[in-house]
Structure 1
Amino acid sequence: MGNERFEIQRRIEAPAGQIFEVLTDPHGHVRIDSSGMLQWAEGERVRQVGDEFVVHMDRESLNDLPMGKYDVTVIITRLVPGQEIEWTISGTIQPPIEHLWGYTLQAEEGGTLVTAYYDWSRIRPEYRGVVNFPIIPEAGLRATLGILARTVEKH
């Protein structure tokens, strides 16, 4: 299967708690998205594994599949307050693909080392070779970290 996960790191000059606030807010996901697919979100701040929220998507931003506008439910699979958040999605494509997205935060002097990751190693066999993975390239995650930095850093 090869490498089916990548991680991008960036040091952000903001406390881990402040960054975590953005990452646990459904609207925060939309604000920092670099792909242009996330249009708007509905739901409450996530606080534990199993929490969910809805994101209204527009696949035309990627121009890879003729899906147009659709909704996904973000399902939190891992949550360590102030340190880690991970999720999968369920939506139009059923059964769910089972890829994972997440962030880990490591507090450092004067900031936080943020690691964003995308893991498609567990995708269901019926999607292999049908959907092109990774859906978002490493550059997309790098750009999202840049937007996250711009969102939380004080200049």
Structure 2
Amino acid sequence: MTTERFEVRREVAAPPATVFALLCDPQGHVAIDSSGMLQSADGEPVRAVGDEFVVHMDREALNDLPMGKYDVTVIITRFEPDAQLEWTISGTIQPPIRHLYGYRLEPAEAGTLVTSYYDWSQIEERYRDKVAFPVIPETALRATLGILARTVEKR
């Protein structure tokens, strides 16, 4: 791993198809968000690279930039059914920053090994000194995986 990317892993007791369905649903992103920034979402579940949906955000949850409430468009950049979902965002900052978020899913003995990653290695140079990266800490990705597990696991 580079200093401009991190990833965390967790095994969850649900099949890859169940996890992937949650990740493809815009409301699923809101349901498992640990940052508190994702407030709601509009759009249909994604099915291919290039699909998009809108997320209504509240930056006050991070208390790092005075952005308040705003919308971002999630743009799918990788889509492999039951295996990988990756996206970037377009929002109030233009051109887009070009940071990437994603999940890789692998079948595991108990269900699915889920890897969540955040990669800011491709961001526009003009933003490197204006925005503190990473925007989301590694601990937030780990916490989101805990919420994902709680959401998809059958008790």
What TM-score, normalized by structure 2, do the two folds share? 0.98
The structure 1 segments of at least 4 consecutive aligned residues displaced by more than 6 Å after TM superposition are none
> Which residue number corresponds to residue 73 of structure 1?
73
CA distance in 2, matches of 1:83, 1:69: 32
Name stretches of at least 5 consecutive residues in structure 2 with no aligned partner. Answer: none
Q: Does 1:146 align with 2:150?
A: no
Identity of aligned residues (%): 70
SS at match of 1:47: coil
CA deviation after TM superposition for structure 1 residue 109, in Å: 2.1
> Which residue number corresponds to residue 9 of structure 1?
9
Q: Give the letter for the 1:13 counterpart.
A: A
> Which residue number corresponds to residue 130 of structure 2?
130
Correspondences of 1:91-106 after superposition (within 5 Å): 91-106=91-106
CA distance in 2, matches of 1:36, 1:63: 11
SS at match of 1:129: coil
Kindly provide the CA deviation profile for residues 89-139 of structure 1, in whole angstroms up to 9, marking residues without a partner as x: 000011100000000000112311000000000000000021000011000
> Which residue number corresponds to residue 62 of structure 2?
62
CA distance in 1, matches of 2:63, 2:108: 39
User: In the alignment, is the contact (CA less than 8 A) between 2:11 and 2:110 conserved in 1?
Assistant: no
CA distance in 1, matches of 2:92, 2:101: 18
SS at match of 1:57: strand
Name stretches of at least 5 consecutive residues in structure 1 with no aligned partner. Answer: none
CA distance in 2, matches of 1:130, 1:45: 33
CA distance in 2, matches of 1:99, 1:151: 26
SS at match of 2:10: strand
> Which residue number corresponds to residue 46 of structure 2?
46
> Which residue number corresponds to residue 107 of structure 1?
107
Q: Does 1:21 align with 2:25?
A: no
SS at match of 1:151: helix
User: In the alignment, is the contact (CA less than 8 A) between 2:75 and 2:87 conserved in 1?
Assistant: yes
CA distance in 1, matches of 2:8, 2:43: 27
> Which residue number corresponds to residue 30 of structure 2?
30
RMSD (Å) for aligned C-alpha atoms: 0.7
CA deviation after TM superposition for structure 1 residue 154, in Å: 1.1
CA deviation after TM superposition for structure 1 residue 84, in Å: 0.3
Q: Give the letter for the 1:17 counterpart.
A: A
